[in-house]
Amino acid sequence: MKTNLLFLALVATTFASCTSLDRSRNTGDPDVSGQTLALQVCSACHGFNGNSTSPNFPRLAGQQPDYLVAQLKDFRGHKRSDPAGFEYMWGLSRKLTDGQIEQLSDYYSRQQSLPGAPAAEVLMHRGQSIFEQGIPDAGVPACQGCHGPAGRGNGTFPQIARQHSDYVVKQLEVFQRTDERPNGAMMKVVAHALTGEDMTAVAAYLQSMPEAEKPQP
């Protein structure tokens, strides 16, 4: 009898811990914190610290919080319809509250982003040139003009340093060829003259950029 009672107590304790607010995967519960959702739900694709290992999913570590807020609200409002986004994010974001979105964005912005593997030197050199100087003859401005010399971004201009190169290329193609990210219309103008080789080069350079020292507040 005592053994049965002990077993029932252990089951009850385990069930309670799995359904507690700090371990919940319920994206429809407004009482679940953004950090809990980041660890229990978002980590499956983006990693616990926001440094996803799969190039299918963007790295969120160190990302600008204002940018993350804007993107999550775009997904929630079905304003961003690029396939890699809406297939995963429309459903996950549809019941997020503004508070949870703010908390998620704050959590990821505080994580340290890690550099990826470097590419061939020739490709890196070309990518660095585009990032720092643009392609004047084609009317392509320097990436650092909006995203900063360290690629960290500012406000709603995202951090692009240390992002997966495959993901960068896919998003540049979205900006260049579609209207699936209407709130990123500025990038359509920026990316219109980039060739496939240009995109590959700048994406390779961005992936391997080192973490620059963050400015003191």
Q: Check pLDDT > 90 for residue 181.
A: yes
CATH architecture of residue range(s) 121-207: Orthogonal Bundle (1.10)
Q: How far is the CA of 193 from the CAs of 147, 176, 197, 199, 200, in angstroms?
A: 19, 8, 11, 10, 14
Task: Give per-residue pLDDT as tens, 84-136.
Answer: 888 999 999 999 999 999 999 999 999 999 999 999 999 999 999 999 999 99
The per-residue pLDDT for 17 is: 41
Average pLDDT, stretch 192-201? 97
The per-residue pLDDT for 22 is: 82
The per-residue pLDDT for 16 is: 41
Q: Check pLDDT > 60 for residue 54.
A: yes
The per-residue pLDDT for 3 is: 42
Q: Check pLDDT > 70 for residue 73.
A: yes
The per-residue pLDDT for 15 is: 36
Domain limits, the chain: 121-207
The per-residue pLDDT for 127 is: 98
pTM of the model: 0.87
The pLDDT mean for the chain works out to: 90
CA dist., res. 139 & res. 189, Å (int): 9
Q: Can you read off the two tokens belonging to residue 39?
A: 């660890």
Exposure class string for 32-68: b at 16+ Cβ within 10 A, else e? bbbbbbbbbbbeebbbebbbbeebebbbbbbbbbbbb
CA dist., res. 101 & res. 68, Å (int): 8
The per-residue pLDDT for 212 is: 63
Task: Give per-residue pLDDT as tens, 137-179.
Answer: 999 999 999 999 999 999 999 999 999 999 999 999 999 999 9
Phi-psi region of 118 (alpha: psi -120 to 50; beta: other; left: phi over 0): beta
Average pLDDT, stretch 43-62? 96
Neighbours of 194 (CB within 10 A): 21
Q: Check pLDDT > 90 for residue 187.
A: yes
CA dist., res. 143 & res. 147, Å (int): 6
Counting residues of the chain whose pLDDT is more than 90, the rounded percentage is 82
